[in-house]
Amino acid sequence: MSDSPDEIHVKRPVTSAAGIPGIQHAVKIAINEMGVVRGARTLLSMNQVDGFDCPGCAWPDSSPGKRSHAEFCENGAKAAAWEATRDRVGREFFSAHSVTDLLEQDDHLLEHHGRLTEPMYLAPGADHYAPISWHDAFALVAERLRSLPDPNRAAFYTSGRASNEAAFVYQLLARRYGTNNLPDCSNMCHESSGAALNETIGVGKGTVSLDDITDHAELIVVVGQNPGTNHPRMLSALESAKRRGARIVTANPLPEAGLVRFKNPQNVRGLVGRGTKLTDRYLPVRVNGDLAMFAGVNKALLAMEDAAPGTIVDRPFIETYCDGFEVVCDVWRALDWSTLESQSGLTRSQMEEFAGDVVGADSVVVSWAMGLTQHRNAVATIREIVNFLLLRGNIGRPGAGPSPIRGHSNVQGDRTMGVWEKMPDSFLDRLGREFGFDPPRAHGHDTVDTIRAMRDGTIDVFFALGGNFVAATPDSDVTKEAMKNCSLTVHVATKLNRSHLCHGTEALLLPCLSRSERDVQASGEQFLTVEDSMSMVHTTRGRLEPGSEHLRSEVAIVNGIGAALLGDVVDWSAMSDDYAVIRRHIENVIDGFEDFEERVRVPGGFTLPRGPRDSRTFDTATGKARFTVNRPDAIDVPEGHLVLQTLRSHDQFNTTVYGLDDRYRGVKGGRKVVFVNAADLADRGLSDGDIVDLISVWSDGERYARRFRAVAYPTPRGCAAAYFPEANVLVPLDSTALGSNTPTSKSVIIRIERSSATVS
Ligand SMILES: Nc1nc2c(c(=O)[nH]1)N[C@H]1C(S)=C(S)[C@@H](COP(=O)(O)OP(=O)(O)OC[C@H]3O[C@@H](n4cnc5c(=O)[nH]c(N)nc54)[C@H](O)[C@@H]3O)O[C@H]1N2
Ligand SMILES: Nc1nc2c(c(=O)[nH]1)N[C@H]1C(S)=C(S)[C@@H](COP(=O)(O)OP(=O)(O)OC[C@H]3O[C@@H](n4cnc5c(=O)[nH]c(N)nc54)[C@H](O)[C@@H]3O)O[C@H]1N2
Ligand SMILES: [Mo]
């Protein structure tokens, strides 16, 4: 697959999502990767009550009675096909390809080679991975960890695909060994949402359930999210909401196809008609203009209340359940419209009209994703959304509340299981009591701090349960060098990726079962559990034969290392033999999992308690829901520069690149594109189709990404967009969100220049 910008074709973006092209694309990929029979079998058991959970995003399933036979979307089909491929990467592959050679290949090709089949070891100085037995691999990890002078010289990364059971034993392994260094993909993802929600409503996740969207909300605000690509099944939910008369407001610097119109491939109307118009009001907010926008809407609501007291603000709710209201009102009253307009890129009347939609609705849900979380002021922006909801009592009643839409299929569950570098003492106390040891208390490193520590030589062993650390993290060149500083890097993975090639002195690749595969242990066939974006915990059971006889489950791998390393008070092998043993421990350590085994076996599973939703209880510092003062600001873009957001194309799952097209945005045949307003191109003497270099400007110097095709695109002046992970070289490691330390992947200051290496 070539990725030359000269081969990229661009046409007008489309204005409706899914429909027949979506089905055709999904079926084609499934057949290519899996063949007809395996393909059909895989897709039909996905998201069924007794099947496996889609390995793609964390969107919830409908309740069992409401599920269709094909409960998946085009991108879920791609994710499942990609891991169920018939291609294999075994010992012959590694003896034929050196690490140096493989580094020349792009991310698409590396994964496209197929599934890893057996444990591989890269010896110091070697350039080829060679087979190693599971026993020796576990012994090696154990020996290297034991010989570290301090357990905090190791870090244990998690990507959000790990099941609850795997995540629970993994954090136990790290803590029993002696460290809280548990960085995870969430640090780069919804950490800002967790920080803002924990502080203001006392729970770090959303409080909305699927039926709040489908059946109850009168207004749904979708901001900083592209569900047509990243959570396609959300479009069906939005369609249901529209059919019963709900309004949808979207705020996004890009007019994303899925939010404009949706052709539901699961009904006739979607296949032959024009589909359903989803968005009623589209607000082309500037990149990073959301804090100003929500502050403006709050100011407008308050002005209406001041003009007609008792008509807009839910006083009884605020008096009973909230604090901080009067202080924040004074701040809103004093805000100046012209500043809010220039920061948000919206006019005062656009914000006032949005406020009008709010007043016309008895219940409001706000849903968001990475468009809000990856900015310097992300935590403040999300706290301002909480203010917005609290103003009218839009929390703790049907059809209302905050709804951060999670990314990886079990990223939320992994957090619930304790994968976090700063779990509260209450959790550590119970974990220690359950297993009879004293867990470390000092907070560990998150993702950015782990990179810094590896760079600075204070971490020696890097262990990853899934993911693609060097490609997903910011400042790719810095991270790659940091990985090379380690003495040992270990990856539990399904497919080969760049992180396996940017290795420490020694490296191990430990191949695991994927979610769609049958998992048989000493006590028989096992199932696993996951938690979706709306706090539903349910089972997932693999159906396909394992990709190789040597694969082990993630649970078995973690427990194998636990036994080799610690072999002590924790009965690691009992937990591998029967995952119900793990679930009993989870029940004893984590609230909300009472009678876990019985309740999770009920079709559809159960919902974890969420105080704000269930009983308007807020476990915050004051025991109340908290209004907070968030002074509007927006990224300062120097003259002649643009603010670049890095985002996903339709043909990728994070660093996994399925293909080079981005159908909805009209891009075909390549990923090195930069979307810019036509007038901003013209100002620079550039036009659509020119090949440009992107140069990011940060206090420590400039970073380059060369030879991107400029695409004139309807985005506000001063804004630009390019795909992740290609643009990650431009994101400075030290540019992170206040209060969450999340890399600011959606606000990178850049200049663009005609590429000096342009070929016409
Ligand atoms: N098929 C597929 N599904 C996925 C993924 C995938 O890669 N592929 N990734 C998964 C993961 S881990 C995650 S976290 C989610 C990500 O889901 P999304 O957050 O939808 O992913 P992004 O592509 O990063 O899109 C960000 C959206 O925010 C908008 N945006 C950017 N900056 C701003 C801003 O300042 N303000 C506003 N209002 N909008 C802004 C962009 O234009 C874009 O529409 O998807 C999950 N699902
Ligand atoms: N510039 C920029 N950077 C970003 C983002 C952005 O929007 N812009 N988004 C950020 C976000 S939201 C996230 S969540 C992170 C994602 O960061 P990661 O979670 O680290 O990255 P992924 O690309 O999801 O990981 C893909 C790899 O996971 C492995 N894998 C797949 N399935 C399994 C499995 O079942 N088990 C195991 N053990 N391994 C498996 C495969 O080897 C595959 O290569 O990236 C972040 N990085
Ligand atoms: Mo994510």
CA 159 to chain centre: 9
pLDDT in tens, 124-136: 999 999 999 999 9
Average pLDDT over residues 720-724: 98
pLDDT in tens, 502-554: 999 999 999 999 999 999 999 999 999 999 989 999 999 998 999 999 999 99
Average pLDDT over residues 323-348: 98
Tell me the best of 107, 561, 655 to mutate to test the pocket of ligand 2, counting ligand atoms within 8 Å of each CB and taking the most.
Answer: 655
**pLDDT band (50, 70, 90) for residue 560:** very high
φ, ψ dihedrals at 40, nearest 5°: -65, -45
Residue nearest to atom 33 of ligand 1 (CA): 371
Pairing of the two strands 506-511 and 120-122: antiparallel
759 has a pLDDT exceeding 60: no
521, 532, 469: which is closest to 54 by C-alpha? 532
Residue 653 pairs with which residues in a beta bridge? 656
Residue nearest to atom 12 of ligand 2 (CA): 189
**Binding site membership of 370 for ligand 2 (Cβ less than 6 Å):** yes
How far is the centre of ligand 1, averaged over its atoms, from the C-alpha of 578 (Å)?
Answer: 37
**Binding site membership of 159 for ligand 2 (Cβ less than 6 Å):** yes
- Residue limits of CATH 2.40.40.20 in the chain: 642-754
Which of 201-205, 554-558, 569-573, 728-732 bottoms out in mean pLDDT, i.e. has the lowest?
569-573
How far is the centre of ligand 2, averaged over its atoms, from the C-alpha of 269 (Å)?
Answer: 35
Report the pLDDT value the prediction gives residue 1, as an integer from 0 to 100.
Answer: 52
25 has a pLDDT exceeding 80: no
How far is the centre of ligand 1, averaged over its atoms, from the C-alpha of 752 (Å)?
Answer: 23
Q: Give me the CATH topology for the region 191-404.
A: Dimethylsulfoxide Reductase; domain 2 (3.40.228)
How far is the centre of ligand 2, averaged over its atoms, from the C-alpha of 184 (Å)?
Answer: 10
Q: Helix or strand or coil: residue 201?
A: helix
How far is the centre of ligand 1, averaged over its atoms, from the C-alpha of 50 (Å)?
Answer: 30
Average pLDDT over residues 561-587: 94
Residues with CB under 6 Å of ligand 1 are: 56-57, 75, 189, 223-226, 229-231, 251-254, 256, 285, 287-288, 290, 369-371, 407-408, 645, 647-648, 652-654, 746
pLDDT in tens, 349-382: 999 999 999 999 999 999 999 999 999 999 999 9
pLDDT in tens, 387-398: 999 999 999 999
**Identity (one letter) of the amino acid at 173?**
L
How far is the centre of ligand 3, averaged over its atoms, from the C-alpha of 405 (Å)?
Answer: 9
How far is the centre of ligand 2, averaged over its atoms, from the C-alpha of 624 (Å)?
Answer: 36
Average pLDDT over residues 287-298: 98
**pLDDT band (50, 70, 90) for residue 77:** confident
Angle between helix 579-589 and helix 164-177 axes, rounded to 10 deg: 70
Assigned token pair, 436:
């009879």
**pLDDT band (50, 70, 90) for residue 760:** very low
21 has a pLDDT exceeding 80: no
DSSP-assigned letter for residue 490: E
φ, ψ dihedrals at 4, nearest 5°: -85, 135
Which of 56-60, 298-302, 730-734, 752-756 bottoms out in mean pLDDT, i.e. has the lowest?
56-60
Report the pLDDT value the prediction gives residue 266, as an integer from 0 to 100.
Answer: 63
CB 389 within 8 A of CB 331: no
Report the pLDDT value the prediction gives residue 16, as an integer from 0 to 100.
Answer: 72
Report the pLDDT value the prediction gives residue 258, as an integer from 0 to 100.
Answer: 83
Q: What is the DSSP string of 554-593?
A: HHHHHHHHHHHHT-SSS-HHHHHH-HHHHHHHHHHHSTT-
Average pLDDT along the chain: 93
Report which bound ligand comes closest to the CA of 745: 2
Cβ contacts of 172 within 8 Å, gap of 6 or more: 418, 431, 435, 562, 570
**pLDDT band (50, 70, 90) for residue 263:** confident
Neighbours of 51 (CB within 10 A): 20
Residue nearest to atom 8 of ligand 1 (CA): 653
**pLDDT band (50, 70, 90) for residue 12:** confident
Which of 92-106, 317-331, 477-491, 744-758 bottoms out in mean pLDDT, i.e. has the lowest?
744-758
In the chain, the percentage of residues whose pLDDT exceeds 90 is 84
**pLDDT band (50, 70, 90) for residue 178:** very high
Class of domain 88-189+410-611: alpha beta
Tell me the best of 223, 282, 368, 370 to mutate to test the pocket of ligand 1, counting ligand atoms within 8 Å of each CB and taking the most.
Answer: 370
- Residue limits of CATH 3.40.50.740 in the chain: 88-189+410-611
Residue nearest to atom 15 of ligand 1 (CA): 407
Report the pLDDT value the prediction gives residue 418, as an integer from 0 to 100.
Answer: 98
How far is the centre of ligand 2, averaged over its atoms, from the C-alpha of 473 (Å)?
Answer: 9
Report the pLDDT value the prediction gives residue 55, as an integer from 0 to 100.
Answer: 77
439 has a pLDDT exceeding 50: yes
Atom of ligand 2 nearest to the CA of 464: 38
How far is the centre of ligand 1, averaged over its atoms, from the C-alpha of 293 (Å)?
Answer: 19
**pLDDT band (50, 70, 90) for residue 757:** low
68 has a pLDDT exceeding 60: yes
Report which bound ligand comes closest to the CA of 83: 2
* Answer CATH for 642-754 from 2.60.40.420, 3.55.50.30, 2.40.40.20, 2.60.40.1180: 2.40.40.20
46 has a pLDDT exceeding 60: yes
pLDDT in tens, 650-698: 999 999 999 899 999 999 999 999 999 999 999 999 999 999 999 999 9
- Residue limits of CATH 3.40.228.10 in the chain: 191-404
**Binding site membership of 722 for ligand 2 (Cβ less than 6 Å):** no
> Which residue shows structure tokens 């099944």?
233
497 has a pLDDT exceeding 60: yes
**pLDDT band (50, 70, 90) for residue 403:** very high
Report the pLDDT value the prediction gives residue 110, as an integer from 0 to 100.
Answer: 95
**pTM confidence score:** 0.95
